[in-house]
Chain A
Amino acid sequence: MANMCPYGRFTHAVVRGIPETFGKTAGDSHENGEVTVDQAKAQRQFGCLTGALRQKVGLQLIEIPPDPELPESWRIEDVAVIQGDTALITRPFKQQRRSEVDAVRRVMSELNLTIVEMGDELGDSGGATLEGSDVLFTGREFFVGISSHTNRRGAEVLADTFRDFAVSTVPVCGGARLKDFCSMGGPDTIIISNSDGAKKTLRVRMMEQLTDHHYEVLTVPEESAANCIYIKGPSKRDFLLHRPAEECPDSISAFQKLPDYTPLPTACSEASKLGASLSSFCLLINRKHTYF
């Protein structure tokens, strides 16, 4: 398709700031209740991340101001899936997060993206839920993790939105999210953690069973290392934002295998305490895609 180009070309990144309520999960707080997070540190890390995206990679950064009412709104990845010039506004699993989409929707439309809603009209029967952290787009196809946050109905809506692409579902167990242990590491490279056997199975399924395309697989020992942000910036260089050595000491060597990359170690320790990771912070958009 016109939209089908190698993964990694982005021009814009949309992020949302860390609210004071960071660490308090929306609504019921039992999930992360025992975790103590350093909100200031989280903000510093967020600042490093956005700085890298803007200054190192060279993206245009759009920052949505934080909303204290929405403690998880910084996980902006969850609320939209963007491919080409189409943005699917998702329906997060938690009721309390659903109003996070409003601000994002506005930004998307300002960027002239075609907005597709999966919201209410589709949500009736059993309710389609989908979160972006369960969606891996490879440039050629989608993998959607069927998890505790994303259901099949949600994946169907996604498939219906991005009709050009194959949308494969991958079961994800145990409260995890698909992107917890895999992410794109290049146009044809997927970074996957081999932290445990279940993931291995997943890897086999994804890489060998579900796809027609051959991907290079970069295996990292630590699960936290598998979530990276790969961007081919306006400068045509390959950037890889990954967790720094102190957060994943065993995996750094793996990243060095990627030739000619500009590695950008980016700390994410506070967010990871909440189950998030690097990619959770941003929505990446390519607006150069104007073939119209």
Chain B
Amino acid sequence: MTTESGADSEAKQPQANKEAEKGKTKAAADPASPQKQPEQLPAAVGHSTPTRKDQEQEEDQESHRSSTSRLSKSPLRGVKKVKMMQCKITLLDGTDYTVNVEKRAKGHVLFDKVCEHLNLLEKDYFGVTYRDVENQKNWLDPSKELKKQIRTGPWNFAFNVKFYPPDPSQLSEDITRYYLCLQLRDDVVSGRLPCSFATHTLLGSYTVQSELGDYDLEEMGSDYVSEIRFAPNQTKELEEKVMELHKTYKGMTPAEAEIHFLENAKKLSMYGVDLHHAKLVGNLYESLAPAEGEDSEGVEIMLGVCSSGLLIYRDRLRINRFAWPKILKISYKRNNFYIKIRPGEFEQFESTIGFKLPNHRASKRLWKVCVEHHTFFRLVSPEAPPKKFLSLGSKFRYSGRTQAQTRRASAQIARPAPLFERTSSKRYNMSRSLDGAPITENHETPVKDGTGDGVPKVLAHEDIITTVTTERKAEEEKEEQEEVQKAATETPEATEMTPLRHDTKYSFIRRAKGENVFIRHSNLMLEDSEPPPEVVKHQTNISELKRSFLETGSGSGGPGQTEWEKRLSSSPLRSPRADESPMIEPLELQDANDEQPTEEETKQVVGSKDTVAAGYLVKYVPDSIVTEGATSSGPHGISLSTTMDDDVFINGTLREEAEGKSHEEEEVSDRSDVKVSPGAVRQEVSQAISDKKGTLIIFKQPENKENTQDEGTSEKKSLPAPIELETDETEKETEAPAAVKGQTSVVEMLSPTVEIKTGDTAQIKNIDSPKKAMASWISEEKVEVSQVIGVFTKKVEELKTLDEVQQKAEGIQSKQLESSLTHITVSEASAASLAVSTFGWVSPSQKASADQDEKPVITENEAEPVTSKVPDGVDVPSKDVPVVHTETKTITYESAEVDTNGDADAGVLLSAQTITSETTSTTTTTHITKTVKGGISETRIEKRIVITGDADIDHDEALAQAIKEAKEQHPDMSVTKVVVHKETEITPEEGED
């Protein structure tokens, strides 16, 4: 593994670069062809883009049809020949599926094809495995080329569940549960998932019900289950018990039977535990019973990776367990695997525990699995791969969606439940004929006979699976076709070069139509070992990453960009570093949204890291929580972000310390350290960000505490939409800050109002337009106010009035708010009240004033359409009202300091400067204003960054990037306010504009 490639820093072109970099890194890792990018691209692009299907189809069709159409496609390139490889994938029902992919295709190409074949949308729980030279199962890295992973081995793969959802009932689709059942049945039969006789019986009976339906004496007779496998050692007694139970299930649908199956299977202690053989290195203190009196050194143990952490078994006994929050760092070196443990209640120092694995590959494999599980289950969004200059070691990171993200995404799945046939799998006599399984057929004849083959039939409604057909064709044909395909594949690449970015995004997007759901990951990787400043930077990474998007090549953004992009590309693996010491941060937050970082934590964070970034993070936290809460609240909740129709967003505003401390702490039980909190923060941040589509970023940097507000408002005014939003929200938020000393009280007041609103919600729900009207009205007023009055207190008052008005006017608030978090209620309420936009206004005036360093308190409000929260009522109305064309979201991050100085006008203008720069997708306008006020010179820099573009642009990144840049450019200045305004066209037809 190479340590670093400087290449990253320069990578300018968003997508192209990332691809390129990947290439580089890989190249570094194993000398390969740096120049394969072109070919790779198409695949990647194809997958994520909406159009991808078409592309693929075309490709596929071409490939197997003939070369006729190829000319049209290949004009651009044609230079390279793409070699197609046949991949054999063993599916969960035991059948094999054969598909051709380009030799240099990346892992996700294959994975996506399989998922398409299976008609599987919630695919993030799954993965593809291959056997390495030692016959060990490895997970295919979606971001790396197939060829480099399997190396010399055969192109044989298996489709498996990678992340076992702790609560399968939360899966959106029955078909997903079905595949999970198949995996679990195999786990049970193979003995990987041990269970008692009673459990074998129970699971077996549900399996029978699922596959065979109701018991029917005439049809089934008395021996109908003997060909189905239930247990490693199946006895007649077991079968009889299974039949006994089966008879009691009359009327249970297959899907219900599977739910019952999963509800029981998930409780098994070894459910979803991935075991790895290891030996203890040193003493694992109490882990081994002292009674044994033996030296624990070298004791054979098993390490089990699961959703909650790392389990240590000796034989069948659990001798220790390290929940993810307890683990500070995970690393491996050669064949040793280390975990650094957070000190316990009675311990002072963190400890490192080492395990010896059979070989280097095994330790790396374990490490990767840990990284992935930690990220998937523990984080809200994936971490960025480490920056090269910061750390050594593998850059591998999980790049897919986290569970939180995939849940949100899958909540958006709108397709009718796909029809699929549950095949009799896992029979003793399995007959499968691969040959025949025509993929094309699926597409054409949706409901077809899967039975014959034993191939599970998945009917694809919309998604047509063309891909595979090639397989059948004779080899010769393939070769012939290869050329054609090459051409085809190549073409798309060429054409689509720009769109490269899209691919990553698209992949996410695809399910959630128009949703923001796709997540970009928040990047920050905190490594403990790093010095605090570094940490800070990491945190900032998010912004950096985002920024990278915007920035072309500016120095600061460089590294961040590249990585970000890489991530986007969804290829976690970077070039490995010379040293391998990957670290994972412990995250405190759980997806469940239960745990919130306490204020204390936040403070700590801020304190330790002076960086503004930290401040941001802190504020973000609340938002994300809110969001999650919403999501978790119900299936509908998830849709929130997605719905474009409604203007109403929810704010998750942090009211900082003042309230937050008291309220928020409860939830965070685990979070002990500062470090943890950052992680959490990041996650949340990322989530919060994820929703935005079109982003308008206003970046203000007031040096001094002077009020930016006035100016800000005026400036904002120039952008009509944003202003309104801000104002609205500002009210609420302002209130808190405004009554600096009385903040708490203010807040409280708000909260009751909120409640009221909720109550009214029902009434108001239906009226979207009125809300909007109200909102706009309010916003205008507020704007005025803000302009005129620099003093916060005034604002506050007004705001309050506004709130009242709002409350009355809008009963809109979604119940979600309530459901979400108590502490947050206030902010949420405010959000809800604001019909159109979410505005997070944080003024940490009191505290902030004291510590300027901490100033950068930023509140992030996530705007979420209310609709989602109040699923029925709100949504319906919104749909009916065509009025809403665009979705507008405004997010404001503001630091407290700004507030203190109420008067913007007071100063004397020394100089003003406006600089405008443009890149393809962004326009950056920088206003630099210098004023002298009361003997203090204030320089205020306001940046407006307009990012235009489609989903392909990562606005969040852009935002983050912008913030980071600004900070870097003006280290002596502080960021007072960040306003993000997003406008998204919902539907062209509807849109007034």
Given contacts A147-B291, A291-B245, contact A3 B199 (CB under 8 A): yes
> At the interface, yes or no: B389 with Cβ under 8 Å from chain A?
no
Are B198 and A166 in contact, CB atoms less than 8 angstroms apart?
no
Are A164 and B267 in contact, CB atoms less than 8 angstroms apart?
yes
Q: Which residues of B contact A161 (CB under 8 A)?
A: 196
> At the interface, yes or no: A204 with Cβ under 8 Å from chain B?
yes
> At the interface, yes or no: A227 with Cβ under 8 Å from chain B?
no
B165 to chain A, nearest CB (A): 15
> At the interface, yes or no: B115 with Cβ under 8 Å from chain A?
no
Are B196 and A204 in contact, CB atoms less than 8 angstroms apart?
no
Number of interface residues of B (CB under 8 A): 36
Which of B40-48, B310-318, B520-528 lines the interface with chain A?
B310-318
- With A and B bound together, what is the CA distance between A159 and B194 in angstroms? 10
Interface residue range, chain A: 35 or more
Are A1 and B196 in contact, CB atoms less than 8 angstroms apart?
yes
Q: Which residues of A contact B264 (CB under 8 A)?
A: 1-2, 4
Which of A7-15, A148-156, A261-269 lines the interface with chain B?
A148-156
Are B198 and A156 in contact, CB atoms less than 8 angstroms apart?
no
> At the interface, yes or no: A224 with Cβ under 8 Å from chain B?
no
Are A164 and B195 in contact, CB atoms less than 8 angstroms apart?
yes
Q: Which residues of B contact A162 (CB under 8 A)?
A: 196
> At the interface, yes or no: A221 with Cβ under 8 Å from chain B?
no
> At the interface, yes or no: A211 with Cβ under 8 Å from chain B?
yes
Are B291 and A152 in contact, CB atoms less than 8 angstroms apart?
yes
Are B316 and A3 in contact, CB atoms less than 8 angstroms apart?
no
Are A146 and B198 in contact, CB atoms less than 8 angstroms apart?
no
Are B291 and A146 in contact, CB atoms less than 8 angstroms apart?
yes
Which of A68-76, A168-176, A273-281 lines the interface with chain B?
A168-176
Among B245, B267, B317, B320, contact of A156 (Cβ-Cβ < 8 Å): B317
> At the interface, yes or no: A102 with Cβ under 8 Å from chain B?
no
Are A141 and B269 in contact, CB atoms less than 8 angstroms apart?
yes
Q: Nearest CB to that of B669 among chain A residues?
A: A214
- With A and B bound together, what is the CA distance between A146 and B286 in angstroms? 11
> At the interface, yes or no: B934 with Cβ under 8 Å from chain A?
no
Q: Mark A177-219, 1 if CB is under 8 A from B, else 0.
A: 0000000000000000000000011001100111110000000
> At the interface, yes or no: B365 with Cβ under 8 Å from chain A?
no
> At the interface, yes or no: A255 with Cβ under 8 Å from chain B?
no
Among B201, B241, B291, B317, contact of A159 (Cβ-Cβ < 8 Å): B317
Given contacts A152-B292, A173-B290, contact A292 B241 (CB under 8 A): yes
Are A166 and B318 in contact, CB atoms less than 8 angstroms apart?
yes
> At the interface, yes or no: A112 with Cβ under 8 Å from chain B?
no
- With A and B bound together, what is the CA distance between A166 and B196 in angstroms? 12
Are B196 and A148 in contact, CB atoms less than 8 angstroms apart?
no
Among B196, B244, B288, contact of A164 (Cβ-Cβ < 8 Å): B196
Q: Nearest CB to that of A197 among chain B residues?
A: B346
Q: Which residues of B contact A152 (CB under 8 A)?
A: 289, 291-292, 314-315, 317
Are B289 and A163 in contact, CB atoms less than 8 angstroms apart?
no
> At the interface, yes or no: B308 with Cβ under 8 Å from chain A?
yes
Q: Which residues of A contact B986 (CB under 8 A)?
A: none
> At the interface, yes or no: B224 with Cβ under 8 Å from chain A?
no
- With A and B bound together, what is the CA distance between A169 and B199 in angstroms? 23
- With A and B bound together, what is the CA distance between A219 and B706 in angstroms? 54
Are B267 and A4 in contact, CB atoms less than 8 angstroms apart?
yes
Given contacts A1-B267, A3-B196, A291-B202, contact A171 B289 (CB under 8 A): yes
Are A85 and B316 in contact, CB atoms less than 8 angstroms apart?
no
Are B286 and A166 in contact, CB atoms less than 8 angstroms apart?
no
Given contacts A164-B267, A173-B290, contact A3 B198 (CB under 8 A): yes
Q: Which residues of A contact B268 (CB under 8 A)?
A: 1, 164
Are B346 and A200 in contact, CB atoms less than 8 angstroms apart?
yes
Q: Nearest CB to that of A161 among chain B residues?
A: B196
B325 to chain A, nearest CB (A): 10
Known: A2-B198, A146-B290, A291-B198; 15 extra A-B contacts, CB below 8 A, are: A3-B198, A151-B292, A152-B291, A152-B317, A155-B317, A159-B316, A163-B196, A164-B195, A164-B268, A164-B269, A166-B318, A172-B291, A204-B346, A209-B321, A291-B245
8 CB-based A-B contacts, threshold 8 Å: A1-B199, A3-B199, A85-B198, A140-B267, A141-B269, A144-B317, A204-B346, A209-B321
A residues adjacent to B (C-beta < 8 A): 1-4, 84-86, 114, 140-141, 144, 146-148, 151-152, 155-156, 159-173, 200-201, 204-205, 208-212, 291-292
